[in-house]
Amino acid sequence: MLGVVKLQDAIFRATSQGLDLVEISPNSEPPVCKILDFGKFKYEAKKKKQLAKKKQKNIELKEIKLRPNIGDNDLNIKIKQITKFLNEGHKVKITVRFRGREITHNELGINLANSIMESTTEVAKAELEPKIEGKQVAMVLAPLNAKQL
């Protein structure tokens, strides 16, 4: 801590020690600078960035595709799979696809999506409510509390 020093004096002190004068906070008044080895400073900043990126959790969007007239057992298996994905901390996109003239009964797809949402209320919340997108009904479920890895 040298206090407020003229620029020329600071540069002279840095070069006499064989180090660099690095501006840390340019927006403050007066600007804050440090005398240090710039190569080492860059290396440590890169390591901090890599460590932060390593600790960051990557949330994937898993997709489950269904048909409107799916069997009860098949639906239960899909719900178990959705619950497993949500417990792992992933978001799940549920797509109910219509073929041919099934689109005339689009309320079946919305009812199916709503029933899935109701059966997963203890582990998920609806991030995107069921809505019709062309020949399919889509919704996104997000986990209530992401599992800490």
Asked if 44 and 65 sit in the same domain, the reply is no
| Listed residues 37, 55, 73: the one ending a domain | 55
- If one counts the domains in the chain, the total is 2
* pLDDT band at residue 96 under the 50/70/90 scheme: very high
Do 66 and 136 belong to one domain? yes
pLDDT of 148: 41
What number of other Cβ atoms are within 10 A of residue 141's Cβ?
27
The answer on pLDDT for 145 being more than 80 is no
Task: Say if residue 33 is in the same domain as residue 92.
Answer: no
Digit-coded pLDDT (tens) for 40-53 = 989 999 999 999 88
Q: Which residues pair with 35 in a beta bridge?
A: 21
Higher-pLDDT residue of 59, 46:
46
Flag whether 13 is in a domain: yes
Per-residue pLDDT band at 30 (split at 50, 70, 90): confident
Return the minimum-mean-pLDDT range out of 21-30, 78-87, 96-105: 21-30
Co-location of 90 and 105 in the same domain: yes
Distance CA 69, CA 19 (A): 73
Do 15 and 51 belong together in one domain? yes
- The verdict on 28 and 67 lying in the same domain is no
Residue 148 lies in a domain: no
| Percent of the chain clearing pLDDT 90 (strictly above) | 52
Q: What is the pLDDT of residues 124-144, one digit of tens each?
A: 999 999 999 989 999 999 998
Report the C-alpha gap between 64 and 21 in whole angstroms: 56
Same domain, 50 and 73: no
Can you give the pLDDT at residue 58?
Answer: 75
Residue 44 maps to a domain = yes
Residue closest to 63 by CA, chosen among 140, 146, 142, 147: 140
